[in-house]
């Protein structure tokens, strides 16, 4: 999941410990999963969530020689569901219609076209909002989406919407935790992400294969770090593997995932309490209709 450099910050992850995965909230008799609710319970669930819904956003792409194609989606849904069980929110079903052109050379990648990615996301958000999700938190689980999702959120200012899109990009790194064993770059399917998956889906991690390929930086471009090209990722990590997954541990995964879950819980609470953003958006939409009348 986390990978981009240069323009993207490295964001290790976080983790969970407790609570076996359950979709039932501690505070609620309703499932946190959109698809598990009856129509009547959906109505009550949206009310209980105060219109706050999570859209965990993953992808289908190679994850080194040892992790599943759906790693990003599996992990981001795991932490989102755990968070929603602590602070109730309705969680949208599996969503993996993101940006992954840079892995089209690998088996199992599903790379939708650019316009479809944006249309899918807009229509999904519109449909969520039409069903009462007036506060949509996109929880990003995939490094390749780090430009797409903020762009999408910014584009909501183009036309009036009766809802707000919030973006939570990746896991938050935090001090402390078990010492890492690998010392190099760890962007994709390396020590962090492999550790995280050992927590969310231990049965899908093939640790014994993690050394079958190299996740080393191949440094095949010689450009300033701040000069961007779309091929930068492939130039550096053509095997779609960055880091060393073989040294992953469940302890690191638990630390990472707990921090990630905590940050989502904090966001759900802040968003539920947020009464400013929609008002400010509406003020902006109104003024944008007649800019010449806008005064400081």
Give me the residues that bind Zn ion (CB under 5 A), please.
Answer: 1, 71-72
Closest distance to Zn ion from the beta carbon of 131 (Å): 29
Contact between residue 139 and residue 55 where contact means Cβ atoms under 8 Å apart: yes
SS3 content of the chain, % helix, strand, coil (to 5): 40, 10, 50
Closest distance to Zn ion from the beta carbon of 87 (Å): 25
Looking at the Cβ atoms of 72 and 191, the one nearer to Zn ion is: 72
Looking at the Cβ atoms of 48 and 200, the one nearer to Zn ion is: 200
Looking at the Cβ atoms of 30 and 78, the one nearer to Zn ion is: 78
- Closest CA relative to residue 58, chosen from 157, 145, 155, 156: 145
Looking at the Cβ atoms of 72 and 254, the one nearer to Zn ion is: 72
Closest distance to Zn ion from the beta carbon of 16 (Å): 17
The DSSP-derived string for 169-227 is ESPPP-S-SSPPS--S---BSSHHHHHHHHHH-GGG--GGGTTSS-----------TTS
Contact between residue 1 and residue 193 where contact means Cβ atoms under 8 Å apart: yes
Closest distance to Zn ion from the beta carbon of 173 (Å): 15
Strand ranges in 97-158 using DSSP code E only, listed in sequence order: 135-140
Q: What residues pair up with 136 in beta bridges, in sequence order?
A: 53, 165
Closest distance to Zn ion from the beta carbon of 136 (Å): 22
Specify the DSSP element, H or E, that contains 152.
Answer: helix 148-155
First to last CA, the chain: 43
Looking at the Cβ atoms of 1 and 14, the one nearer to Zn ion is: 1
Closest distance to Zn ion from the beta carbon of 162 (Å): 33
Q: Which two tokens stand for residue 279?
A: 């008002």
Q: Which two tokens stand for residue 99?
A: 């940006």
Looking at the Cβ atoms of 73 and 264, the one nearer to Zn ion is: 73
């Amino acid at each position: 999941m986390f990978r981009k450099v240069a323009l993207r910050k490295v964001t290790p992850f976080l983790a969970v410990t407790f609570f076996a995965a359950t979709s039932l909230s501690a505070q609620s008799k309703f499932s946190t999963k959109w698809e598990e609710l009856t129509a009547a319970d959906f109505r009550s669930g949206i009310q209980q969530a105060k219109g706050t819904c999570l859209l965990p956003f993953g992808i289908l792409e190679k994850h080194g020689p040892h992790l599943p194609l759906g790693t990003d989606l599996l992990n981001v849904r795991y932490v989102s569901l755990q968070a929603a069980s602590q602070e109730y929110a309705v969680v949208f079903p599996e969503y993996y219609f993101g940006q992954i052109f840079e892995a089209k050379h690998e088996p199992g990648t599903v790379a939708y076209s650019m316009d479809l990615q944006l249309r899918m996301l807009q229509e999904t958000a519109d449909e969520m909002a039409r069903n009462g999700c007036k506060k949509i938190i996109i929880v990003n689980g995939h490094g390749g989406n780090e430009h797409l999702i903020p762009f999408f959120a910014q584009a909501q200012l183009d036309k009036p919407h009766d809802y707000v899109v919030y973006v939570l990009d990746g896991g938050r790194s935090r001090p402390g935790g078990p010492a890492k064993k690998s010392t190099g770059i760890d962007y994709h399917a390396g020590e962090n992400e492999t550790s995280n998956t050992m927590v969310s889906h231990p049965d899908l991690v093939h640790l014994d294969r993690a050394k079958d390929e190299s996740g080393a930086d191949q440094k095949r471009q010689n450009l300033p770090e701040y000069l961007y090209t779309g091929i930068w990722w492939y130039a550096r990590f053509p095997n779609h593997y960055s880091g060393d997954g073989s040294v992953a541990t469940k302890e690191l995964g638990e630390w990472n995932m707990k921090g990630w879950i905590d940050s989502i819980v904090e966001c759900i609470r802040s968003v539920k309490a947020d009464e400013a953003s929609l008002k400010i958006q509406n003020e902006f939409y109104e003024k944008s209709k007649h800019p010449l009348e806008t005064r400081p």
